[in-house]
Amino acid sequence: MPNLRDIRRRIRSVKSTQQITKAMKMVAAAKLRRSQENMIAARPYATKMLDVLNSLAARADQELHPLLRVREEKVVRVLVVTADRGLCAAFNTNILRRASHFVAEREGLGQAVSLELAGRKCLDYFKRRPTPVEDTWTGLFNHLHYEDADRIAGTLMRAYTEERCDAIYLIYNRFKSMISQEVVVEPLLPISRLEPAGESAGPDYLYEPTQQELFNTLLPRHVTFQVFRALLESAAAENAARMTAMESATNNAGDMIDRLTLYANRVRQAAITKEIIEVVSGAQALG
């Protein structure tokens, strides 16, 4: 049985841990508020741009722009987005498991798969595995900017236009609520095309300037913003997962402190009882 000093030392240690997890929860909550506002502001623009580009692409010749060209998927590239740090429950584990399954599925179909990694956790995971890694980005989520997405999207678009891959996918955590995140796999390139069906497709558009100039401007911007939206979603989901995990850890530490305090009281009471018995036994022996 541990002595009372060891139990009290354990209680102090758990209280120190509880203070840390409580502080981390407050930091995550503050970051979540900002990242959630940025994500919600970006969603309508990204969704509307996707709808417009799908509609325009459906009416355009796919040879009009390299990002519209559809090829047989023999070589696939995947952008995997995780966090740079842990202590956010199953946030990273769910992403890495889904990415591993995706790679296994595509390789089972005879396709070659390579990875683009955003986040230190996915880098640490895949550097010990045989799947080739093309580029890595870490430290993005401390201060996430549009320029970060522009660099990543530029790398992806160059790989696609130079025909080093036939399709590009995104795998990331989508923010659903404070306690729920959803792992999603989304196609990024080529630009998806909604096939018009008869009269429901409506008339074609009049372009000013030319259709070629319009696509040269809009398509790269669209790809960049879709990457930016995925990074924003992942940042908000990470902060929500970390806040939830730290709240749970703080509550568990409180429960542990209560159990240890009760146990310490029992040990102290047992020691007092033992001393009283020894005193009484000694008095009786002298009498």
* 203 contacts: CB under 8 Å, gap ≥ 6: none
**Is 122 an annotated catalytic residue?**
no
Q: Which of 223, 191, 176, 183 is nearest to 39 (CA)?
A: 176
Find the catalytic residue in 24, 53, 88, 236: 88
140-144 contact pairs (CB < 8 A, 24+) = 140/84, 140/231, 141/83, 141/84, 141/231, 141/234, 141/235, 141/238, 142/84, 144/35, 144/38, 144/231, 144/232, 144/235
From the list 229, 228, 221, 77, the residue with the least C-alpha distance to 162 is 77
CA dist., res. 158 & res. 152, Å (int): 10
Two tokens, residue 129: 């595995």
What's the DSSP call for residue 203?
Answer: P
Rounded Cα distance between 117 and 155, Å, is 12
Distance between CA 101 and CA 114 in Å, rounded?
Answer: 14
Q: What is the DSSP string of 95-163?
A: HHHHHHHHHHHHHHTT-EEEEEEESHHHHHHHTTSSS-EEEEE-S-TTS--HHHHHHHHHHHHHHHHTT
CA distance 231 to 140: 9
- Name the residue with tokens 């459906």: 58
Q: Output the six-digit token pair for 261.
A: 């305090």
Residues catalogued as catalytic:
88
